[in-house]
Amino acid sequence: MVSTMAVITTKNAKETQKVASLLAGEAPRVETDHALVICLNGELGAGKTTLVQGFCRALGITERITSPTFVLMKIYQLNHRTRSMKHIAQNRSRFKHLAHIDCYRIERPDELPHLGLDEILADPDTIVLIEWANRIKKILPADVITLNLGHGKRPTERTIEIMYGTKR
């Protein structure tokens, strides 16, 4: 069942990262028996990596976040002692890792090299953020959160459609 939760318009990258921070704060409340999978779709420059950066910062990841276009995946350890958001820290035992995957160069799911993706997707202690997720939707669980990002009316404006229960 597809459920649109919200459509948000941001005026600039800072606001997009703030939305991501709020989503990161809600992540521990989403119940799954596997990894929490968040799919990020949208054309080039729509704000996918900007959103990932805000999400990661909210979880206390301090290293520079870039899209793993050529390495395909980057895994971060979540250090709960550095988390700045009180409501995330209260749920610190839930997630231990964040996997950031970029499928821009992938045309079909079977092109993915052996990354251990099955194990990552099965791990309930992991959050998985996938840019260009529509390219591998056939191999993802059904209960993903999908963020469709788009360009707004102004050059720095972005729209973020948040849906649950779809792999679109």
Is residue 153 over pLDDT 60?
A: yes
Predicted pLDDT at 82? 44
Structural domain total, the chain: 1
Task: Look at residue 40 and tell me if it is in a domain.
Answer: yes
CA dihedral (163, 135, 160, 82) in degrees, to 10, reads 90
In a domain, 89, yes or no: yes
Q: What is the domain range of residue 71?
A: 3-106+122-164
Q: Which residue has the higher pLDDT, 49 or 85?
A: 49
Distance CA 65, CA 153 (A): 27
Q: Is residue 135 part of a domain?
A: yes
Q: What is the mean pLDDT of the chain?
A: 88
Q: Please give the distance of CA 11 from its chain centroid, rounded to a whole number.
A: 20
Helices (H), the chain: 13-26, 48-58, 86-89, 117-122
pLDDT digits (tens, 9 = 90+) for 76-132: 999 765 445 544 444 445 799 999 999 999 988 887 767 889 999 999 999 999 999
Structure tokens at 9: 């318009």
CB 121 within 8 A of CB 34: yes
Whole-prediction pTM: 0.88
Percent of the chain at pLDDT exceeding 90: 69
Q: Residues of 33-62 as b/e, b for ≥16 C-beta within 10 angstroms?
A: eebbbbbbbbeeebbbbbbbbbbbbbbbbe
**Has residue 168 got a pLDDT over 80?**
no
Q: Is pLDDT of 38 > 80?
A: yes
User: Is residue 115 a part of any domain in this protein?
Assistant: no
The yes-or-no verdict on residue 56 having pLDDT over 60 is yes
> What CATH number has the domain bearing residue 159?
3.40.50.300
Is residue 112 situated within a structural domain?
A: no
Query: Looking at the domain assignment, is residue 114 inside a domain?
Result: no
Q: Is residue 111 part of a domain?
A: no
- Domain assignment of residue 117, yes or no: no
Strands of 42-102 (E only): list them: 73-77, 97-102
Q: How far apart are CA 147 and CA 53, in angstroms?
A: 14
